């Protein structure tokens, strides 16, 4: 059985003011059925860009190379017409702000019915509506019959995100891509959405790519994690391993910056400095201007990956780091 999502050597070159800028390079990702991959990085790290490339949603001026296979089928280079049959059908999408995904002047029911019939034009409105009722039930929205006839503004933020999730699973996709799905929601609602996503992936054996800068979300939900910095992978592996024994100084910095449940403010030590823009990517290891462990070779030579157990990290000094256990996975 081929891997559900198998990304190999993804490279994205953007046209910026008459010059080509490498925004993403050498990115490999794998997601199995029923599995959640956390894709982590600061803004501008290339995490959303990578998924937009996989979905064929980048502007034509962007050059995308490498391979993105969905259950063995190559998506890179697919015609837009064919890609449209995959987006929303085999791959469901959930974005940060549910309001942008919903049409404010259409009832929720009409939008779900439209989403279903886009990929199943022969299905009657009645049958599509029955499925919409069922879908709202699956995302735990009470009184789904009545709710279908309401407009998005009549729903709370959390309920709207449930509607977006219902739409994302309406055509029974194999893979979900969720880009910061809980960022716009308050903490208690976040936890409910996390629970819902976790239930859906088990019930439906969905693969899920969870794009986020929130390591707490990854700790609570993902099986594996891939950490991007300036368009390159710096560390990847099983969540429990990477979080317990991070091998890359950037990963360590992110984990230190992560508030734990009992100590909050004093642990909010963010990594100093700002991530580079793709056009201003530093030489060697791109993290060197911010890295407390940087040495001369870091400025000139790009580090290659080394394996550490089931994970890997790209750092000249990763093997020197004493494993120092982080107590961040207590939430599980």
Q: What x/- string results for residues 14 through 53 when contact with ligand SF4 is judged by CB under 6 A?
A: ----------------------------------------
Cβ burial, residue 295 (10 Å; 0-12/13-18/19+):
exposed
**Span 239-268, contacts to Mg ion by CB under 5 A:** none
User: At a CB cut-off of 8 Å and minimum separation 6, what does 227 contact?
Assistant: 40, 41, 233, 234, 235, 236, 242, 248, 250, 251, 254
Cα 53 to Cα 13: distance, rounded to the nearest angstrom? 11
Asked whether position 249 contacts ligand SF4 by CB under 6 A, the answer is yes
State CA 134 to chain mean position distance: 27
Judged by DSSP in three states, 24 sits in strand
Q: How many residues does the chain have?
A: 332
Q: Which does 317 bind (CB under 5 to 8 A by kind): ligand SF4, Mg ion, none?
A: ligand SF4
No. of H helices and E strands in the chain? 12, 12
Give least dist CB 14 to ligand SF4, A: 24
Residue with Cβ nearer ligand SF4 (95 or 229):
229
Q: Which does 315 bind (CB under 5 to 8 A by kind): Mg ion, ligand SF4, none?
A: ligand SF4
Q: CB under 5 to 8 A by kind: which of Mg ion, ligand SF4, none does 293 bind?
A: ligand SF4
- Segment 225 to 244, residues that bind ligand SF4, using CB under 6 A: none
Q: Is the Cα torsion angle 159, 165, 168, 170 positive or negative in sign?
A: negative
- CA 86 → CA 89, 90, 121, 259, distances in Å? 5, 5, 15, 38
Q: Which does 212 bind (CB under 5 to 8 A by kind): Mg ion, ligand SF4, none?
A: none
Query: Which residue in the set 25, 45, 48, 190 belongs to the binding site for Mg ion (CB under 5 A)?
Result: 48
From the list ligand SF4, Mg ion, none, which binds 48 (C-beta under 5 to 8 Å, kind-based)? Mg ion
Q: Is 121 left (phi over 0), alpha (psi -120 to 50) or beta?
A: alpha
Q: CA torsion angle for 102, 226, 37, 72 (degrees, to 10)?
A: 100
Contact status: 210 vs ligand SF4 (CB under 6 A): no
Binder to ligand SF4 among 106, 110, 293, 329 (CB under 6 A)? Answer: 293
Q: Which does 54 bind (CB under 5 to 8 A by kind): ligand SF4, Mg ion, none?
A: none
- Cβ pair 32, 175 in contact under 8 A: no
The correct pick among 95, 243, 287, 308 for binding ligand SF4 (CB under 6 A) is: 287
| Spatial distance between the Cα atoms of 228 and 209, rounded to a whole number of angstroms | 14
Q: How far apart are CA 135 and CA 137, in angstroms?
A: 5
**In DSSP terms, which residues pair with 226 in a beta bridge?**
39, 236
Q: Which is nearer to Mg ion, 68 or 178 (CB)?
A: 178
Q: Under the criterion CB under 6 A, does residue 298 sit at the interface with ligand SF4?
A: yes
Binding segment (CB under 6 A) for ligand SF4, from list 106-114, 149-157, 185-193, 309-317: 309-317
Q: Work out whether 294 is an interface residue with ligand SF4 (CB under 6 A).
A: yes
Which residues lie near Mg ion (CB under 5 A)? 48
Which residues lie near ligand SF4 (CB under 6 A)? 248-249, 285, 287-288, 291, 293-294, 298, 303, 315-317
């Amino acid at each position: 059985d081929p891997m559900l999502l198998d990304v190999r050597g993804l490279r994205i070159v953007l046209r910026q003011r008459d010059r080509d800028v490498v925004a993403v390079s050498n990115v490999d990702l794998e997601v199995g059925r029923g599995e959640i991959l956390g894709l982590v990085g600061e803004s501008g790290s290339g995490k959303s860009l990578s998924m937009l490339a996989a979905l064929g949603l980048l502007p034509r001026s962007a050059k995308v190379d490498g391979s993105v296979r969905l259950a063995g089928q190559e998506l890179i280079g697919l015609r837009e017409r064919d890609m449209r049959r995959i987006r929303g059908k085999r791959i469901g999408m959930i974005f940060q702000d549910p309001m942008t995904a919903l049409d404010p002047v259409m009832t929720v029911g009409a939008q779900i019915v439209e989403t279903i019939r886009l990929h199943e034009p022969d299905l009657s409105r009645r049958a599509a509506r029955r499925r919409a009722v069922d879908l709202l039930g699956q995302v735990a929205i009470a009184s789904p019959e009545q709710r279908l006839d309401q407009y998005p503004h009549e729903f709370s933020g959390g309920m709207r995100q449930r509607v977006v999730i219902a739409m994302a699973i309406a055509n029974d996709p194999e893979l979900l891509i969720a880009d910061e799905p809980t960022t716009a929601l308050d903490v208690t609602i976040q936890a409910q959405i996390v629970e819902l996503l976790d239930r859906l992936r088990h019930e439906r054996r969905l693969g899920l790519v969870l794009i986020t800068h929130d390591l707490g979300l990854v700790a609570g939900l993902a099986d594996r994690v891939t950490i991007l910095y300036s368009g390159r992978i710096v560390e990847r592996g099983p969540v429990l391993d990477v979080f317990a024994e991070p091998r890359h100084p950037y990963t360590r910095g992110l984990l230190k910056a992560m508030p734990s449940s009992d100590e909050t403010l004093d642990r909010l030590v963010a990594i100093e400095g700002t991530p580079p823009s793709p056009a201003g990517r530093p030489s060697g290891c791109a993290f060197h201007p911010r890295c407390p462990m940087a040495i001369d070779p870091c400025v000139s030579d790009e580090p290659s990956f080394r394996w550490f157990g089931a994970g890997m990290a790209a750092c000249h000094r990763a093997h020197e780091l004493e494993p120092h256990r982080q107590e961040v996975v207590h939430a599980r």
